[in-house]
Amino acid sequence: MNFSNLIKSIEDFFTERRLLYTILGLILIVFIAILVFSEGYSGGADSLTHYRFARWAFSKPEFFLDHWAKPVFTLLSAPFALLGFKSFQLFNVLIGIASGYIAYLVAKELKMKSPLLAIVICCFTPVFMINLFSGLTEILFAFTAILTSYLLIKGKYVWGAIVVSFLPLIRTEGIVLLPIYGYFLIHKKHYRELTFMLTGFVFYSLVGFISGKGIFWLITEMPYTGATDIYGKGSLLQFAKRSPGFFGIPNEIFFVTGLVAGLTLYFREKKEYSKEFLLVVMPFLTYFIAHSISWWSGVGSSLGLSRYMAAIVPFMAVMATRGLYLFAKMFLIIFKIEWIRVLALIIGVASVTHIPFVLQNYPIALDTASKTIKSTSEWIKQEKLDSAKIYYTDPIFFYFHDINPFDNQKSQSSFTNSVNPAEGLTNGDILVYDEHFSPIAGINFSKMVTNDELELLRVIDPVTPTTVFQRPYKVAVFRKIEKDSAIVGKNLSIINGEGKVFNTIYSYDFDKTVYEPELDYIGSSKIHPNKYLRIKHSREYFLTNDFKLDSISFYSPFELQVEMKLFLKTSDEKLKYKFEVFKNSKKIISKSFDIEIPINSNPEEWNNIRFKIIIPEVDSTEGLSIKTSLWNKKRGDYLVDDYKINYRVQ
């Protein structure tokens, strides 16, 4: 049997139905494995805030009508949330796979070749796949939108109008798609069905009214009314420029190919292509353009987040299906050999499926802030401080501390008084300050440190330095005490790191002590007479040092402290710091992070930089070594002086 006959026999065995079940089964197995083995999740604090609403909705029915949490999302996800956060994430996984299935049905109804490709493209688009492992609303929005298109393509106009009426109750921007679907009904002369597009609004307005809200509560309680200075704004083309990162380059190529081919068909046979144009192309473009304008203008409270684009991936997948098929067919036309077409199709599918694993590490690890909150919770339990009432502001704290966030006897998700957090508290109460949400709540860290009724117990730094709103991220634990004038001094000594002792491993001032491998990059000038290291855009790594741990004794957990003076010659790019840990020459850890410049620093002056790196994985010295370097990933230009690497010994 020759290769072509083998390919044909395989195609004969795998009927479309068998292949459909195989694809869906494999995707489900892969995604559940990722879910089970992932310690982290995507979506940040918003995911756990949605989980909090859904998890306790049955005991607090008012959550089913919370506008921010989105009523339809809360209603459908609440049964899953009862079984825990993993089960809550499973809801999105199942809905996401269902979205891919509906995209396949849409492609099939539009008579596209190889419609099964839509499932693969949809599920493995990077921004879509990562958001499956979240508690966010984008995936349910994607499912509802593509389901609406499918129902209307099938001629089920009443059901399509009813389903789309609930879209704004899943994500507010669903409003921008209503005119598209409304126009389609008008175009098809189904005027009566237009009234069913009010179903969701009318239903929830009446339910809210019966529950004691105003009849127009969906309008009056709109949560997204924040000012531009809170939500920000940016470039009109931001989503277009960043699209390769969240759609993936192969998907973009197939999408553009499919779109152009479809539009060509539209100009030749408008009637044949009108359904696809109105129910697939237009929802995608309208949503994409609306978010671009919202971020550019500052209207609509857009944060400019890539995750928003997950909501329209099924539409993109349908269009990309045609593009991927044409990609494979091109090889058949050129070589006139069927197995080459199949091989091209396999290569195309492989390029789609591997991209999300290149852009994101799976299973998903906890992000830096979540790790720090988790460490804080573990320390509080270790020190037996959890018997006291705990006040916190980060909405994810309840999850890592495993508490009911609505049991006000045990905890409170806000401080009683943001100006004076100690006011109204009982001695022994614990306050958890975090650098993200506490300042948003109006709480000033410096005032807490100098409050003579608050004892600073510990500052928990992230494992790798990170910033939020251009401030170094940290978490601090305070305890309410009787007034004590001496406590302020104790608090300040903890902040200043008194009692910590560091030894220096490497030190370069570039005048007396230089880094020999980079002598050609050391210089000075009239403005800066002291010698310094020039980091040039022509090279990627500088100041690479490595040292073995078997010859030193250190304080556990292993802590590095890096100091330097940094002069920015390029202001739009950030220099990175990279460290790697090796055990018997095998790399076991590799991490990098941006070196942040202090807020309001003068770009024409030297900046004093100091940061710590905590490496809890280093719990012994045998066979271990650490390699550090300045990583000029974006190829900028900088000057470095007085560079030191220290490690903690006490």
Mean pLDDT of 531-551: 92
Identify the H or E element spanning 456.
Answer: strand 454-460
Q: What's the number of CA atoms in the CB half-sphere (13 Å) around residue 317?
A: 40
Mean pLDDT of 230-239: 77
Contact 539, 624 (CB under 8 A): no
- Residue ranges and CATH numbers for the domains of the chain are 15-359 (no CATH), 368-495 (no CATH), 502-648 (2.60.120)
Phi, psi for residue 249 in degrees, rounded to 5: -60, -45
Q: How confident is the model at residue 571 (pLDDT cuts 50, 70, 90)?
A: low
Most confident stretch, 42-56, 255-269, 270-284, 289-303: 42-56
For residue 600, the model assigns a pLDDT of: 67
Q: Is the dihedral of CA 271, 275, 277, 282 positive or negative?
A: positive
For residue 166, the model assigns a pLDDT of: 97
Q: Is the predicted pLDDT of residue 645 greater than 90, yes or no?
A: yes
Contact 388, 430 (CB under 8 A): yes
Q: Is the predicted pLDDT of residue 226 greater than 60, yes or no?
A: no
DSSP E strand boundaries for 481-556 = 502-508, 522-523, 532-535, 541-548
Query: Which are the contacts of 321, defined by CB distance < 8 A and separation ≥ 6?
Result: 103, 107, 112, 114, 115, 117, 118, 121, 254, 258
Question: Could you read off the pLDDT of 165-211 as tens digits, one per residue?
Answer: 999 999 999 999 999 999 999 999 999 999 999 999 999 999 999 99
Q: Is the predicted pLDDT of residue 619 greater than 80, yes or no?
A: no
Mean pLDDT of 37-65: 95
Query: Which are the contacts of 633, defined by CB distance < 8 A and separation ≥ 6?
Result: 540, 576, 592
- 307, with CB counted inside 10 A (0-12, 13-18, 19+), is buried
For residue 305, the model assigns a pLDDT of: 85
Q: Is the predicted pLDDT of residue 231 greater than 60, yes or no?
A: no
Share of the chain above pLDDT 70, in %: 94
Contact 477, 492 (CB under 8 A): no
Question: Could you read off the pLDDT of 303-327 as tens digits, one per residue?
Answer: 778 899 999 999 999 999 999 988 8
Question: Could you read off the pLDDT of 88-104 as tens digits, one per residue?
Answer: 999 999 999 999 999 99
Mean pLDDT of 256-282: 82
Alpha helices, H only, 269-401: 270-276, 282-297, 313-335, 338-359, 368-382, 397-401
Q: How confident is the model at residue 60 (pLDDT cuts 50, 70, 90)?
A: very high
Tokens of 162: 């009813």
Question: Could you read off the pLDDT of 583-606 as tens digits, one per residue?
Answer: 888 999 999 999 988 766 666 789
Mean pLDDT of 48-65: 96
For residue 556, the model assigns a pLDDT of: 85
Share of the chain above pLDDT 90, in %: 69
Q: How confident is the model at residue 227 (pLDDT cuts 50, 70, 90)?
A: very low
For residue 9, the model assigns a pLDDT of: 63
Tokens of 148: 């609406």
Contact 566, 596 (CB under 8 A): no
Phi, psi for residue 639 in degrees, rounded to 5: -120, 140
Rounded-to-integer distance, Cα 284 and Cα 306, Å = 15
Mean pLDDT of 60-81: 96
Question: Could you read off the pLDDT of 415-459 as tens digits, one per residue?
Answer: 989 999 999 999 999 999 999 999 999 999 999 999 999 999 999
Task: Please provide the average confidence, as pLDDT, over all residues in the chain.
Answer: 90
Question: Could you read off the pLDDT of 347-383 as tens digits, one per residue?
Answer: 999 999 999 999 898 999 999 999 999 999 999 999 9
For residue 24, the model assigns a pLDDT of: 97
Rounded-to-integer distance, Cα 128 and Cα 143, Å = 11
Contact 465, 559 (CB under 8 A): no
Peptide bond between residue 465 and the one before it cis (omega within 30 degrees of 0): no
Give per-residue burial for 370-402: e unless 16+ CB within 10 Å, then b.
bbbbbbbbeebeeeebbebbbbbbbbbbbbbbe
For residue 104, the model assigns a pLDDT of: 98
Cα 320 to the center of its chain, rounded Å = 24
For residue 328, the model assigns a pLDDT of: 84
